[in-house]
Chains A and B, each alone.
Chain A
Amino acid sequence: MKSSVIIFPGSNCDRDMDVALKKFGFKNQMVWHNDADIPKSDLIVLPGGFSYGDYLRCGSIAGKSKIIKSVIDFANSGGLVLGICNGFQILTETGLLPGILQQNKYLNFICKNVFVKIKNKENKYFKNIKKEILELHIAHNEGNYFCSKDELKSIEDNNQIAVTYCDQKGDDNEENNPNGALKNIAGIFNKDKNILGMMPHPERMIDPFLSGEDGSLFFENLIGSL
């Protein structure tokens, strides 16, 4: 299985993602933002970081970068596109995913472990994961998901909510919402479920010596379902 990680100037989780993808068997290649084409891939990943310094708005300049047209074409032809953290922000800026990511409710950067509930398993990202609740890790300043009422209705009607913040038992109420995200949304799909954007970083949870191992479940499933 071939994957490509796009490096924007200011990306800083590109290496971590490369390490994770390779650990679980992907043949990964790194692609520079100024290239026009992406090599043949089964999966494209937009990694975390601060693309173009996140100036103007998080992800906005990356959303207009040279490489992004190829990403959009790939996604529109049904290819799998995964955006983590800043990658999620970029996907909303391109319009591939609905809604926006605002500054966290309490205005602070948050770096900690969180639990998320998988809301939809009928897709390649979560299909064969046995658990319902994953322990993942967040590290962001702008992860407060928001969209209009109409968009939310459409997202819910199409089962586009991928994961929501919750507690260990799966309770996804306001108390377990770290950043003020609408409906505790931590990640969403597009209508066809080939594009996933999420704030938590599975690539930081792939080893018992790190913050946890539930990220491994995510990547194992992903390579298995391709």
Chain B
Amino acid sequence: MVEVNEKIAIEHGLKKDEYKKICDLLKRTPNITELGIFSAMWNEHCSYKSSRLHLKKLHTKGKQVIQGPGENAGVVDIDDDDAIVFKIESHNHPSFIEPYQGAATGVGGIMRDVFTMGARPIANLNSIHFGSPKHEKTRNLLRGVVKGIGGYGNCIGVPTIAGQTCFDESYNGNILVNAMTLGLVNKNKIFYSKAAGINKPVIYVGSKTGRDGIHGASMASAIFDEKIEEKKPTVQVGDPFTEKLLLEACLELMAGKSIISIQDMGAAGLTSSSIEMASKGDLGIEIDLTKVPCREENMTPYEIMLSESQERMLIVLEEGRENEAQKIFEKWNLDFAVIGKTTDSKNIELFFKKEKVAEIPIDFLAENAPMYDRKWIKTKLPKENKYSKNQFKSLKLIDCLKKILIEPNVADKEWIWSQYDHTVMGDTIQKPGGNAGVVRVHNTNKAVAASVDSSATYCYAHPLTGGKQIVCESWRNMISVGAKPIAITNCLNFGNPEKEKNMGEFVECVEGITEASKYLNYPVVSGNVSFYNETKDKGIKPTPSIGGIGLLSNYKNMMTMELKKEGNYLIVIGKTEGHLDQSTFSRVILSEFNGPPPEINLFNEKQNGMIVLNLNKLNLIEACHDVSLGGILTAVTKMSINGKKGVKLFTIENLVNKFEYFFGEDQGRYIIEIKPENLEKVESLLKKDSIHYDKLGLVESNYISYGNDLKISIDQIKQGYKNWLKEYMVN
């Protein structure tokens, strides 16, 4: 057996003082298995040691919340006896090393988190960020990630209904793959990870344990260097077929009453799942590692405890229910083994070939895990740019629009989502490519909307504003399909927390998220943190991804963004002040990268959102789209392309110039389509609530036009927008 010392502890990613703390707590030197367990539980990924202090501030409460952060996933009430279980999780580090398997197992992991709670997954989403399209690795990473996400989700038979793809050179050395799943559960039949009672059998089910993924969680807690390729063996390999069987078998077992608690083996595998169940139940746990089904020969206790083989679950059963459970897992051809029991020792005790190979008090691993109040610095609000008339003089609306529509972050992403099965389960009523994906709650009139958003550019310029902005953007996406926003899950992707600037970005983004979610009653119920997205000293832009969900009590009231009928009016709700700093227009057309992001006014945000929901309830809206990247003209063009109809834009009655008006990225705005006969009513309702609005134009047959400044057919304008990604991928 390997002799443990400080050097070996450091190789396990522990710090000197952390190793000393372990020896002090144990009052002895740990053996190698114990050291492995400590390193797995105390790394950033599992212990949240840099983030815990700040995550406590998140707004996590609300009438709709059944379960907030701290469980496998969050749970919210959607009326009747129905509840939605949902969460987003990162799989960034493995996806950069091995894009297909990294992304696939990311999807598998998040689905397990959801069905562990008793919910049948009903929708998948993802937020993926890549380096510059010009970077040599981008194309292959994108192809691999998309294939991995599709390969896993398609096979399980859960529709991928929405997502988001961004490109920015800050991800050249660290791509982001964030996967989100929604599941549907009866709110009286939710399963938790908290074990209860002693001498209860601990059951292992699913795939066999192999040597894959050992120390995956530690890898996800480290920065990359030149030796990154050597880490390939730490990437897990996914088997969606087994996961589908595991899903069906678990749901079948859950229909009975034999489960006390259940936990999937995700990051740090058997180690974290067993410790979490015992810790939450304030119990001890005893495991005989000889009984764990292994795929490879001669696996050591160390390897068994740290393997991250996929598609495995740990279950604490009621006594005497083993046979009933075993029958179900055998029916589905899955491994089943009683590997231990709960105890009152409050220790984790591991046996291997009749010898005790580890014994650690559980609270050393969970509650006593390190927590750091890391130093951080505030980001000052950058100075606004002053744009001179000369900068706009030679510009033409049409040229600007064309360039913006082929900007990689704006261009159409159908090449991606057409590779995801988005219609299986027969309830997808809004496909990817709209404001949000929408699935019906099977056999009811209800539907659930979901989207994922991030705005790293805004967050980088000013993390506090950026944090608020993403929550608002998510809220707007829910409103734009007619859903009442319910709650969010966040995936916080940041650089190295040991650097004050990166830590500051984290702290202030969390503050921004908290402020907006509190004001909008849009609480955070689950999520995860991914630090150390850094390669050779270069970190990513701060990238919190927000996954939002909303409820439509009657799916027939759903709104979509495509224009419906010639002769209808378009109205912009919300005030346009022409904010260009940090906009796509500034970056793409003016090559200006500085300045503050658009300001967030939470009062207006809420007012504007509520009026759109009300107008929709009164059946006064034909189409709706929120205004985001690329401003009003980009938004209108997308509505036109999707609806195959044109728009005649009215002369703007505004103090700002036409570029500021059409491309500014002021927040809290929606474009809605109104029938002429409803116009008066809509205007009077808007005036009654003192909502700022502009009449934007009329829906026409074929052309987008603005006086003599702009006239282009839909067929022409859609070319670049629709083809950019397809062409990029084949070249």
**Does B425 interact with chain A (Cβ within 8 Å)?**
yes
Residues of chain B at the chain A interface (Cβ within 8 Å): 147, 150-151, 154-157, 239-242, 244-245, 331-333, 417-426, 428-429, 431, 440, 555-556, 558
User: Are A111 and B426 in contact (CB-based, < 8 A)?
Assistant: no
User: Are A15 and B555 in contact (CB-based, < 8 A)?
Assistant: no
User: Are A12 and B333 in contact (CB-based, < 8 A)?
Assistant: no
Expressed in whole angstroms, the Cα–Cα distance for A160 and B426 within the complex equals 29
User: Are B419 and A9 in contact (CB-based, < 8 A)?
Assistant: no
Interface string of A39-77 (1 = CB under 8 A from B): 000000000111011110000000000000000000000
24 A-B pairs with CB atoms under 8 Å apart are: A9-B241, A9-B332, A12-B157, A13-B157, A16-B424, A16-B426, A19-B426, A20-B426, A50-B154, A50-B240, A53-B240, A54-B155, A108-B419, A109-B147, A111-B419, A139-B423, A141-B154, A204-B424, A204-B426, A209-B429, A209-B555, A210-B428, A211-B423, A211-B428
**Does A93 interact with chain B (Cβ within 8 Å)?**
no
Q: B residues within 8 A CB of A110? A: 418-419
Q: In the complex, which of the residues A12, A15, A20, A108 contacts B156, with contact meaning CB atoms closer than 8 Å?
A: A12
Expressed in whole angstroms, the Cα–Cα distance for A35 and B157 within the complex equals 23
Q: A residues within 8 A CB of B440? A: 209
**Does A95 interact with chain B (Cβ within 8 Å)?**
no
Q: B residues within 8 A CB of A10? A: 155, 241, 244-245
Q: In the complex, which of the residues A12, A19, A20, A34 contacts B424, with contact meaning CB atoms closer than 8 Å?
A: A12
User: Are A13 and B241 in contact (CB-based, < 8 A)?
Assistant: no
Given contacts A15-B426, A52-B241, A53-B241, list 13 more A-B pairs with CB under 8 A.
A9-B244, A9-B333, A12-B157, A13-B157, A50-B241, A53-B242, A108-B418, A111-B418, A111-B420, A139-B424, A204-B426, A207-B426, A211-B431
Expressed in whole angstroms, the Cα–Cα distance for A112 and B416 within the complex equals 12
Expressed in whole angstroms, the Cα–Cα distance for A53 and B152 within the complex equals 11
User: Are A109 and B423 in contact (CB-based, < 8 A)?
Assistant: no
Question: Chain B CB within 10 Å — which of A13, A54, A201, A209 has the most?
Answer: A209
Q: B residues within 8 A CB of A209? A: 429, 440, 555-556, 558
User: Are B419 and A15 in contact (CB-based, < 8 A)?
Assistant: no
Closest 8 CB pairs of A and B: A12-B157, A53-B241, A16-B426, A139-B421, A209-B429, A50-B155, A109-B419, A204-B423
Expressed in whole angstroms, the Cα–Cα distance for A207 and B427 within the complex equals 10
User: Are A49 and B157 in contact (CB-based, < 8 A)?
Assistant: yes
Q: B residues within 8 A CB of A9? A: 241, 244-245, 332-333
User: Are A12 and B419 in contact (CB-based, < 8 A)?
Assistant: no
User: Are B422 and A16 in contact (CB-based, < 8 A)?
Assistant: no
Expressed in whole angstroms, the Cα–Cα distance for A49 and B241 within the complex equals 10
Q: B residues within 8 A CB of A193? A: none
Expressed in whole angstroms, the Cα–Cα distance for A203 and B423 within the complex equals 10
**Does A117 interact with chain B (Cβ within 8 Å)?**
no
Q: Beyond A9-B245, A13-B157, A210-B428, is A111–B422 a contact (Cβ under 8 Å)?
A: yes
Q: B residues within 8 A CB of A15? A: 425-426
Residues of chain A at the chain B interface (Cβ within 8 Å): 9-10, 12-13, 15-16, 19-20, 34, 48-50, 52-55, 108-112, 137, 139, 141, 201, 203-204, 206-207, 209-211
Expressed in whole angstroms, the Cα–Cα distance for A87 and B154 within the complex equals 16
Expressed in whole angstroms, the Cα–Cα distance for A49 and B156 within the complex equals 8
Question: Chain A CB within 10 Å — which of B154, B156, B419, B420 has the most?
Answer: B154
Nearest CB in chain B to that of A211: its residue = B423
Expressed in whole angstroms, the Cα–Cα distance for A204 and B423 within the complex equals 7
Expressed in whole angstroms, the Cα–Cα distance for A53 and B154 within the complex equals 11
Expressed in whole angstroms, the Cα–Cα distance for A210 and B423 within the complex equals 8
Q: B residues within 8 A CB of A112? A: 418
Minimum C-beta distance from A17 to chain B (A): 9
Q: Beyond A10-B241, A53-B239, A109-B150, is A16–B421 a contact (Cβ under 8 Å)?
A: no
Expressed in whole angstroms, the Cα–Cα distance for A109 and B440 within the complex equals 24
Nearest CB in chain B to that of A50: its residue = B155
Expressed in whole angstroms, the Cα–Cα distance for A67 and B249 within the complex equals 20
Q: In the complex, which of the residues A20, A108, A137 contacts B423, with contact meaning CB atoms closer than 8 Å?
A: A137
Expressed in whole angstroms, the Cα–Cα distance for A73 and B151 within the complex equals 34
Q: In the complex, which of the residues B155, B242, B425 contacts A16, with contact meaning CB atoms closer than 8 Å?
A: B425
Q: A residues within 8 A CB of B418? A: 108, 110-112
Nearest CB in chain A to that of B427: its residue = A210
Nearest CB in chain B to that of A9: its residue = B245
Expressed in whole angstroms, the Cα–Cα distance for A83 and B429 within the complex equals 25
Q: A residues within 8 A CB of B431? A: 211
User: Are B245 and A111 in contact (CB-based, < 8 A)?
Assistant: no
Expressed in whole angstroms, the Cα–Cα distance for A16 and B424 within the complex equals 8
Question: Chain A CB within 10 Å — which of B157, B422, B426, B440 has the most?
Answer: B426
Q: A residues within 8 A CB of B555? A: 209
User: Are B241 and A111 in contact (CB-based, < 8 A)?
Assistant: no
Nearest CB in chain A to that of B420: its residue = A111
Q: In the complex, which of the residues A34, A49, A210 contacts B429, with contact meaning CB atoms closer than 8 Å?
A: A210
User: Are B423 and A111 in contact (CB-based, < 8 A)?
Assistant: yes
Nearest CB in chain A to that of B432: its residue = A111
Q: A residues within 8 A CB of B429? A: 209-210
Minimum C-beta distance from B159 to chain A (A): 9
Expressed in whole angstroms, the Cα–Cα distance for A53 and B157 within the complex equals 12
Minimum C-beta distance from B142 to chain A (A): 13
Minimum C-beta distance from A80 to chain B (A): 22
Question: Chain B CB within 10 Å — which of A55, A112, A139 has the most?
Answer: A139
